[in-house]
């Protein structure tokens, strides 16, 4: 419990902690009002039994006389009015407090999920290489909400009710210590016993539920994402079965939680009825008069009636807390470990980092996080402004890794990537702003062609002229013209309504939208047939004149016209030079023979 509180406080921004302070004060006031209202009723009962007692208290008598309250009738009448006013005010306050509390909780949901998504969008690329997207989706979508409503809210509820219970018990203790002790023992003991019984299983189910929530998202993503493969291979059942298994486990956990929640009240209520009878007996035994008995019994009945839902709420919330506490763990871990990325707001990096002379990869060695193997070993190469280089080599030789380092997506383990002698690490956003990147698999969203080319820009801020230029340069213009809705045509999720070549050219247009000086292509044409590839290569040829190109290619024809070719072999540059010169290399020759 204290561990949960510590972690919660750690992920809350300091502004929220001040709000929490205000909430705590409001909580205390609410607790006091509850106790006060109970005391007043008990007092009222005593007065009803014997109105004269008020006149026995000398200072009070003077006040009452001053107010013109002289008879027992007056006392009952004004007493009733006073009672009503107190309850009205108290309940109005309680409603207000609940509203403030709900607001606090849901605003935390907003701020935590927003912050977490911000972190996931701003972390280095290497983070996403290690993490499954289903976990991240779950954390942002369901766990952040669970954290607010099922962890923070219960903590507040427990605190609120505890304050109230302590107040009521203090009042009771002042009036009747022995009977109070019996009450505490009964109600407290039974609640504690109940919690002990369900504790272990609640914890187990809670842990399980967290896992299954991620597995459900994962299964849906993979099943729907791999629909074509799954259908052709007839593997649909594997996905539906796996889904069912997760939903089943999650349901069982939820059923257990609900059942426990529903059991709390009846158990405590039964004890309470027994308790009240016991208290009446105890009081009679002590020789109370009927009037005093009525008053004290009223006090206890009212208190227990108020304590019941409070204990109910504490036990229920404590359980919910144990069940959902696991939502806190992944969020806490990511929010503390990745804190530095939280405020890295790169709205729009306006300034491109220009390329004046050359890009230089200097003695770069790279090891992927959590692995040992050196994927690149002491690689050095230099790309002059306005030139085109081609990277070739077998799959797994390290081409993509090398390009990701140049893109600033990954940071070298040793060595550096320099642009005009300056390490790109220092202004990686500005550097990226000057690069157009065309990956092998273009990520397309279910949106219009226009929005896919501009990508991540509000529709009204899209520069139509630049779109037109990019479309033309990517040789996409004829295709767009053939569509009835032109650039506004929707292309389906992941571009499902496009052919491979069309997708690739949208990728090229996207890379060109920013009008970058450097273009990086990672096997951008490998998945294309020869004719389509020719079109794309033609597009590339035209781009070559004014830009610096770094091209990874599978087919050597694609890079034949590059100024320098690098043959990468097992993380090292095995040979470099023009196409003709490289033909002398054995490995390279093998590639040309088989890969034509
Ligand atoms: N995220 C990763 N974590 C660990 N190893 C990786 C990761 N990505 C690639 N590798 C390894 O790095 C090596 C080079 O991969 P890559 O650069 O993609 O090669 P290429 O693009 O030439 O096919 C391969 O052995 C691959 O298994
Ligand atoms: Mg690759």
| CATH code where residue 174 lies | 1.20.1560.10
* Cα of 395 from ligand 1 centre, angstroms: 9
Last residue of a domain, one of 340, 375, 408: 340
Does residue 426 share a domain with residue 378? yes
CA distance 421 to 86: 77
Best residue among 400, 409, 574 to mutate for probing ligand 1, ranked by most atoms within 8 Å of CB: 400
Best residue among 396, 406, 441, 552 to mutate for probing ligand 1, ranked by most atoms within 8 Å of CB: 396
Nearest CA to ligand 1 atom 4: 368
Q: Which ligand is nearest to the CA of 523?
A: 2
Cα dist from 184 to 180, 228, 277, 285, 308, whole Å = 6, 64, 15, 20, 12
Tell me how many domains the chain contains: 2
Kind and range of the H or E element at 454? helix 449-454
Is residue 520 a part of any domain in this protein? yes
User: Does 47 or 535 have the greater pLDDT score?
Assistant: 47
pLDDT band per the 50, 70, 90 thresholds, residue 228: confident
Does residue 380 share a domain with residue 286? no
In degrees to the nearest 10, what's the CA dihedral of 480, 486, 488, 489? -70
* Cα of 572 from ligand 1 centre, angstroms: 13
CA distance 507 to 447: 14
CA distance 476 to 536: 10
- Which pLDDT score, from 0 to 100, does residue 496 have? 77
- Which pLDDT score, from 0 to 100, does residue 11 have? 85
Is 370's C-beta closer than 6 angstroms to any atom of ligand 1? no
Is 372's C-beta closer than 6 angstroms to any atom of ligand 1? no
Best residue among 368, 370, 406, 522 to mutate for probing ligand 1, ranked by most atoms within 8 Å of CB: 368
Across 139-143, 294-298, 331-335, 416-420, least confident range: 294-298
Does residue 474 share a domain with residue 327? no
In degrees rounded to 5, what are phi and psi of residue 570?
A: 50, 50
Give which of 352, 514, 366, 368 is closest to 438, Cα–Cα.
514
Q: What is the mean pLDDT of residues 97-119?
A: 91
- Which pLDDT score, from 0 to 100, does residue 595 have? 47
Burial 170-205 (b: 16+ CB within 10 A, else e): ebbeebbeebbeebeebbeebbeebbeebeeebeeb
Name residues with Cβ closer than 5 Å to ligand 2, which is an ion: 400
> What does the DSSP 8-state code read for residue 361?
E
| pLDDT single digits (tens) 186-211 | 888 888 888 888 888 888 998 899 89
CA distance 522 to 441: 9
Burial (Cβ within 10 Å: 0-12, 13-18, ≥19) of residue 530: exposed
* Cα of 393 from ligand 2 centre, angstroms: 10
Which range scores top for mean pLDDT: 61-70, 255-264, 275-284?
255-264
* Cα of 375 from ligand 1 centre, angstroms: 7
Atom of ligand 1 nearest to the CA of 393: 22
CA-based max dimension of the chain: 120
* Cα of 594 from ligand 1 centre, angstroms: 23
Give which of 501, 518, 464 is closest to 486, Cα–Cα.
464
Is the confidence at residue 576, as pLDDT, over 50? yes
Instruction: Pull the structure tokens for residue 63.
Output: 């006040």
- Which pLDDT score, from 0 to 100, does residue 69 have? 79
**Residues 167, 172, 175, CA angle at the centre, nearest 5°?**
130
Q: What is the mean pLDDT of residues 124-134?
A: 89
- Which pLDDT score, from 0 to 100, does residue 255 have? 94
Is residue 347 a part of any domain in this protein? no
Kind and range of the H or E element at 275? helix 236-285
Last residue of a domain, one of 284, 312, 340: 340
Does residue 363 share a domain with residue 327? no
Is 375's C-beta closer than 6 angstroms to any atom of ligand 1? yes
Is residue 294 a part of any domain in this protein? yes
Does residue 408 share a domain with residue 381? yes
Is 398's C-beta closer than 6 angstroms to any atom of ligand 1? yes
Q: What is the mean pLDDT of residues 383-392?
A: 90
* Cα of 292 from ligand 2 centre, angstroms: 88
pLDDT band per the 50, 70, 90 thresholds, residue 510: very high
CA distance 596 to 591: 8
Q: Which domain holds residue 160?
A: 2-340
Atom of ligand 1 nearest to the CA of 126: 1
Does residue 334 share a domain with residue 227? yes
Is the confidence at residue 593, as pLDDT, over 80? no
Is residue 244 a part of any domain in this protein? yes
* Cα of 400 from ligand 2 centre, angstroms: 4
- Which pLDDT score, from 0 to 100, does residue 191 have? 82
3-state secondary structure of 489: coil
Instruction: Pull the structure tokens for residue 323.
Output: 């069940």
Atom of ligand 1 nearest to the CA of 130: 1
- Which pLDDT score, from 0 to 100, does residue 527 have? 64
pLDDT band per the 50, 70, 90 thresholds, residue 310: confident
Q: What is the mean pLDDT of residues 21-35?
A: 90
Quote the pTM value.
Answer: 0.77
Q: Which ligand is nearest to the CA of 402?
A: 1
Q: In the block, which residue shows the tokens 């009223």?
A: 298
* Cα of 367 from ligand 1 centre, angstroms: 10
pLDDT band per the 50, 70, 90 thresholds, residue 596: very low
Last residue of a domain, one of 281, 308, 340: 340
Q: What is the mean pLDDT of residues 29-38?
A: 89
Is residue 412 a part of any domain in this protein? yes
Give which of 519, 510, 536, 512 is closest to 451, Cα–Cα.
510
- Which pLDDT score, from 0 to 100, does residue 47 have? 82
Does residue 390 share a domain with residue 320? no
CA distance 357 to 48: 97
Q: What is the mean pLDDT of the chain?
A: 86
Cα dist from 120 to 117, 123, 142, 212, 407, whole Å = 5, 6, 15, 21, 19
In degrees rounded to 5, what are phi and psi of residue 525?
A: -115, 5
Nearest CA to ligand 1 atom 3: 368
Is residue 350 a part of any domain in this protein? no
User: Does 572 or 558 have the greater pLDDT score?
Assistant: 572
Q: What is the CATH number of the domain that holds 563?
A: 3.40.50.300
Does residue 95 share a domain with residue 244? yes
Q: How are beta strands 414-419 and 564-569 bridged, if at all?
A: unpaired
- Which pLDDT score, from 0 to 100, does residue 262 have? 86
User: Does 413 or 288 have the greater pLDDT score?
Assistant: 413
Does residue 251 share a domain with residue 193? yes
Beta strands in 385-514 (DSSP E): 388-392, 414-419, 422-423, 435-438
pLDDT band per the 50, 70, 90 thresholds, residue 70: confident
Does residue 570 share a domain with residue 475? yes
| pLDDT single digits (tens) 431-485 | 998 999 988 888 888 889 999 999 988 888 899 999 999 998 888 888 899 988 8
Is residue 66 a part of any domain in this protein? yes
Atom of ligand 1 nearest to the CA of 568: 22
**Contact, 540 vs 391, CB < 8 A?**
no
* Cα of 28 from ligand 1 centre, angstroms: 59
Q: What is the mean pLDDT of residues 324-347?
A: 81
Burial (Cβ within 10 Å: 0-12, 13-18, ≥19) of residue 545: exposed
Is 369's C-beta closer than 6 angstroms to any atom of ligand 1? no
Is residue 179 a part of any domain in this protein? yes
Does residue 382 share a domain with residue 244? no
Does residue 505 share a domain with residue 384? yes
Burial (Cβ within 10 Å: 0-12, 13-18, ≥19) of residue 78: middle
Q: Which ligand is nearest to the CA of 440?
A: 2
Percent of the chain with pLDDT over 70: 96
């Amino acid at each position: 419990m204290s561990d949960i509180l510590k972690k919660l406080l750690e992920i809350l921004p300091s502004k929220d902690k001040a709000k929490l302070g205000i909430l705590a004060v409001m909580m205390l006031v609410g607790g006091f009002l509850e106790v006060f209202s109970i005391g007043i009723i008990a007092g009222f009962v005593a007065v009803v039994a014997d109105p004269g007692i008020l006149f026995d208290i000398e200072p009070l008598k003077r006040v009452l006389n001053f107010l013109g309250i002289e008879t027992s009738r007056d006392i009952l009448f004004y007493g009733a009015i006073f009672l009503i006013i107190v309850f009205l005010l108290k309940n109005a306050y309680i409603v207000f407090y609940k509203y403030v509390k709900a607001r606090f909780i849901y605003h935390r949901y907003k701020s935590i999920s927003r912050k977490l998504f911000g972190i996931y969008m701003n972390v280095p690329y290497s983070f996403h290489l290690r993490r499954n997207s289903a976990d991240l989706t779950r954390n942002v979508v369901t766990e952040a909400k669970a954290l607010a409503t099922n962890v923070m809210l219960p903590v507040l509820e427990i605190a609120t009710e505890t304050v109230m219970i302590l107040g009521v018990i203090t009042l009771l203790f002042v009036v009747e210590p022995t009977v109070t002790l019996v009450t505490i023992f009964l109600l407290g003991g039974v609640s504690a016993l109940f919690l002990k019984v369900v504790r272990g299983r609640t914890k187990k189910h809670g842990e399980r539920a967290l896992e299954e929530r991620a597995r459900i998202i994962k299964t849906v993503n993979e099943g729907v994402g791999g629909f074509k493969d799954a259908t052709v291979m007839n593997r649909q059942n594997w996905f539906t079965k796996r889904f069912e298994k997760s939903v089943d486990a999650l349901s069982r956990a939820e059923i257990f939680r609900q059942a426990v929640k529903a059991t709390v009240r009846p158990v405590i209520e039964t004890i309470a009825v027994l308790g009240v009878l016991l208290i009446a007996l105890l009081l009679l035994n002590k020789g109370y008069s009927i009037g005093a008995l009525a008053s004290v019994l009223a006090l206890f009945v009212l208190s227990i009636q108020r304590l019941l839902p409070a204990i109910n709420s504490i036990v229920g919330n404590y359980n919910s807390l144990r069940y959902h506490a696991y939502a806190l763990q992944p969020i806490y871990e990511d929010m503390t470990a990745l804190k530095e990325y939280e405020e890295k707001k790169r709205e729009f990096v306006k300034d491109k980092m220009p390329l004046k002379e050359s890009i230089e990869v200097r003695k770069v060695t790279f090891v992927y996080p959590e692995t040992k193997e050196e994927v690149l070993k002491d690689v050095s190469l230099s790309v002059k402004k306005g030139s085109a280089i081609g990277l070739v080599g077998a799959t797994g030789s390290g081409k993509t890794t090398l390009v990701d380092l140049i893109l600033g997506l990954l940071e070298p383990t040793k060595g550096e990537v320099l642009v005009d002698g300056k390490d790109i690490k220092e202004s990686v956003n500005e550097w990226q702003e000057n690069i157009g990147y065309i990956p092998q698999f273009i990520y397309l969203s279910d949106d219009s062609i226009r929005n896919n080319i501009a990508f991540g820009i509000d529709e009204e801020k899209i520069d139509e002229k630049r779109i037109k230029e990019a479309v033309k340069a990517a040789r996409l213009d004829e295709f767009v013209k053939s569509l009835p809705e032109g650039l506004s045509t929707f292309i389906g999720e992941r571009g499902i309504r496009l052919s491979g070549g069309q997708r690739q050219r949208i990728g090229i247009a996207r890379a060109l939208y920013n009008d970058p000086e450097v273009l990086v292509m990672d096997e951008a044409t490998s998945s294309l047939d020869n004719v389509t590839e020719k079109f794309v290569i033609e597009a590339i040829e035209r781009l070559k004149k004014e830009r610096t190109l770094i091209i990874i290619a599978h087919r050597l024809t694609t890079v034949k016209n590059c100024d320098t070719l690098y043959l990468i072999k097992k993380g090292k540059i095995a040979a470099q030079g023009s196409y003709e010169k490289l033909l002398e290399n054995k490995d390279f020759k093998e590639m040309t023979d088989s890969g034509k």
